[in-house]
Amino acid sequence: MNIDAAGLADGAQYTASPNCDDRPPGTAIELLVIHNISLPPGIFEGTAVSDLFLNRLDPAAHPYFATIAGLRVSAHFFIRRDGTLLQFVPCALRAWHAGQSLWCGRERCNDYSVGIELEGTDELMFSDAQYDRLGALARALHRRYPIIASVGHADIAPGRKTDPGPFFDWPRYRAGLQQPKQ
């Protein structure tokens, strides 16, 4: 996998989200933020996550949707349970995924991070296909940008966020950052 100069990943299904803007001038991408999401919570598949990121979530389609329909959020990437990779924002732009956040004394993590959403919840393990795709994506991002660290949303918004949750296997993720043997 490769990331081009605009920040698009080859092999990703790209659909542009309006929920993004320019990064501050001269800001390097130094952080990967890993999230989990499912809509409605605990339900996988369907188009609800994409619909949320594209501002077309129908608040009448599920009672939970009415509580989040006004949100204007996005992520750079979304990895489905089967490993399918969707991209909503080029990495060159700032996606709106972290919200109020702080990392190593620096606020506004959206300014200098890439947001990766995994289809899941805090209560379930992630799939092998997700770890495989996440590893390939993270390696490509590390080759393209001066990434310093990978963190969970909970790490940059403690008390406000819990994802990617206790079932995210950080040692497995870190092992996946290593180039697989051919």
pLDDT digits (tens, 9 = 90+) for 117-172: 999 999 999 999 999 999 999 999 999 999 999 999 999 999 999 999 999 999 99
Residues 6+ apart with CB under 8 A from 50: 15, 78, 86, 88
Nearest to 23 by CA among 77, 90, 105: 90
The model's pLDDT over 28-63, given as tens digits with 9 standing for 90+, comes to 999 999 999 999 999 998 999 999 999 999 999 999
Domain CATH for 61: 3.40.80.10
- 117 belongs to the catalytic site: yes
59 Cα distance to chain centroid:
23
Catalytic residue among 30, 107, 117, 119: 117
More confident residue, 150 or 178: 150
**Does residue 157 belong to any structural domain of this protein?**
yes
Domain ranges, residue 85: 13-176
Number of domains in the chain: 1
**Does residue 181 belong to any structural domain of this protein?**
no
Per-residue confidence (pLDDT) for residue 180, from 0 to 100: 62
**Does residue 1 belong to any structural domain of this protein?**
no
What distance in Å separates the CA atoms of residue 39 and residue 41, rounded to the nearest whole number?
Answer: 5
Task: Report yes or no: 87 and 13 within 8 Å, Cβ to Cβ.
Answer: yes
Per-residue confidence (pLDDT) for residue 182, from 0 to 100: 45
**Does residue 8 belong to any structural domain of this protein?**
no
**Does residue 6 belong to any structural domain of this protein?**
no
**Does residue 139 belong to any structural domain of this protein?**
yes
